[in-house]
Amino acid sequence: MAPSDTEAPSYPEGTVGFSPMPLERLPFASTVVASNDDPYVAPERAAFFARCWGSRFVNVGPAGHLNSQSGLGDWPAGLDLLAELASRGAAAR
């Protein structure tokens, strides 16, 4: 998951229903993926979310906001992260 910081000044105005950001530990395996230059969440804030949620944190360097419009295409590194997460989830069961 690549979160947005709903409390940051950069969060798009008019977007409703996503704040406050929940900070409770998640009851399942999770990975927070962030980039150095995401306009919607600073890497330090994404790492904070990961700690709160009990998630693994991965910084993929400069990649903008990680979404379908980011131009990453099939993104093999993202598919690897998904496979790793699926493996962790299966091992936890």
Q: Domain extents for the chain?
A: 1-6+26-65+83-93
In degrees, rounded to 5, the angle at the alpha carbon of residue 15 between the alpha carbons of residues 50 and 30 is 20
CA separation for the pair 83, 79 (Å, rounded): 6
Which tokens go with 89?
């989830």
pLDDT in tens, 35-86: 999 988 999 999 999 999 999 999 999 988 887 777 888 888 888 998 999 9
pTM over 0.85: no
- pLDDT at position 16 is 65
Reading phi first (left if > 0) and then psi (alpha if -120 to 50, else beta), residue 43 is in alpha
**Can you give the pLDDT at residue 58?**
96
Q: Judging by beta carbons within 10 Å of its beta carbon (0-12, 13-18, 19+), is residue 92 exposed, middle or buried? A: exposed
pLDDT, residue 62, reads: 92
pLDDT digits (tens, 9 = 90+) for 6-32: 887 777 776 766 778 889 999 999 999
Structure tokens at 46: 């994404």
